[in-house]
Each structure stands twice: as C-alpha cells, then as structure tokens.
C-alpha cells in the first residue's frame, strides 16, 4: 500500500529496498517528481555530467530482464543463494523469495539508469560522488511519495553490455547505477542497521571496531 510522508526523518529511516511490487504502473507525474529530485543533487562544479534514462518500453524492459538474470547468476554464486523450499518460512527464505521475485519479474517494471560522463581528471571512484547523490535523491523521493525502489547491480557484470546496447549508450558514459521503481506490495518499514557507536570513530582510527571479518559471508539486507 502507498505510504507517503513529508517527514524527512521518516523517509530516511524507512526507505528500505522494496523487491515486491504491484502491477499498477507508476504514473508519469510521480516518476517525474523523483527525476526532478535527482537533478537537485550536489555534484562536482555543478557540471551535471549525468543523464537519467527511464526504461519502460518493451525492448528496454526485455533487456532489463536479461541483465537481471545475468546478475542473479553472479549473486547466487557470491552469496551461495538458491531458491528456498516452499515450506521454509525463515527470515532468510522470505528475503530470498523477494530477491528471486524481483529478478524473475524484472521485465515487468519501470526502472531508471543513472549514467555519468567519463572525464580525464578524476578517478571513477571520485566521479561517483557526482552521480550517486542524484541516485539517492531519486530513491528518497520515491519513498516520500509512497513508491518502492530497489538499487540493483543489473547494469554491472555482463548486464552492462546488454543495457548499453539496448539503450545505445556511448562508451564515454559510465553506467553508474540502476534503480527499479514501483508501487510496493506491503509497506515500508524501519531498517536494521548497526548502532552508530559501532561505525563512527572520533578523531582516531579504532582498530578494535574496524574488524569487519565477522560480517563476511552474511548477506546484507535493507
């Protein structure tokens, strides 16, 4: 059910990834508000070296579906995932079902590619600071309007070639990110995160709290 809110703190604390959507299409006005929010994001020198590509035509949705299946094979390998038994009602099984549904139905949804122009004076990592705030603005604007959104890896791996070819994106543009958007099945809710005290240091590096090996192999959830 749509759950819009104008409370910025509620938006920030409940904008978890949504992987299950209804069949109701996202209307142009609502989507345009998300895209407008993306254009308000900070970026280096206000150069706005970005383009946002809405993917909602049959050919492009088919390419998204193909890219999603490519990504799924990689995700299964990395996380040791497999389709859960129908009788398994554990949290992990429920999460995995939602992930498989998102990938299986990828071609049914509207999504947006975030691209960034390559320049010669900054690393890819540094240039990310001029595109990912726009992606986050889009994501938060979707949540504020009651939409669900999920940032995917579908424009990575071999899926990049599929999407680049389908859309006709020149080589001098990065495929920096991809977001699926739609009306959620279910509701937004609070996210599970580590306490601030675990991840914030004051003035000096804290080696005792910087050990991340305990989290390896565990699949992060939103």
pLDDT at 220: 44
Domains of the chain (ranges, CATH numbers): 8-215 (3.40.109.10)
pLDDT at 85: 95
The four Cα atoms 66, 68, 71, 77 give a dihedral, to 10 degrees, of -100
Q: Is the pTM of this model over 0.85?
A: yes
Quote the DSSP letter at residue 59.
H
User: Residue 215: pLDDT band by 50, 70, 90 thresholds?
Assistant: very low
Taken as a whole, the chain contains a residue count of 222
Give the contacts of 177 (CB within 8 A, at least 6 positions apart): 113, 114, 131, 132, 135, 151, 155
217 pLDDT more than 90: no
């Amino acid at each position: 059910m749509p759950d819009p809110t104008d409370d910025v703190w509620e938006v920030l604390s409940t904008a978890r990834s949504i992987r299950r959507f209804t069949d109701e299409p996202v209307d142009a006005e609502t989507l345009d508000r998300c895209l407008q929010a993306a254009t308000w994001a900070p970026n280096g020198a206000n150069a706005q070296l970005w383009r946002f590509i809405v993917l909602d035509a049959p050919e492009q949705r088919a390419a998204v579906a193909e890219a999603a299946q490519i990504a799924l094979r990689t995700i299964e390998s990395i996380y040791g995932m497999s389709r859960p038994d129908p009788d398994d009602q554990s949290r992990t099984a429920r999460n995995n079902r939602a992930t498989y549904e998102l990938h299986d139905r990828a071609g049914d949804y509207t999504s947006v590619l975030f691209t960034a122009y390559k320049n010669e004076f900054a690393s890819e990592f540094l240039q990310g600071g001029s595109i990912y705030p726009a992606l986050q603005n889009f994501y938060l604007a979707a949540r504020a309007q009651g939409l669900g959104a999920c940032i995917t890896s579908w424009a990575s791996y071999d899926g990049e070639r599929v999407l680049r070819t389908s859309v006709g994106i020149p080589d001098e543009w990065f495929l920096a990110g991809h977001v699926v958007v739609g009306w959620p099945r279910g509701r937004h809710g609070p996210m599970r995160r580590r306490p601030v005290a675990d991840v914030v240091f004051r003035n000096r590096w804290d080696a005792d709290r910087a050990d991340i090996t305990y989290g390896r192999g565990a699949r992060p959830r939103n």
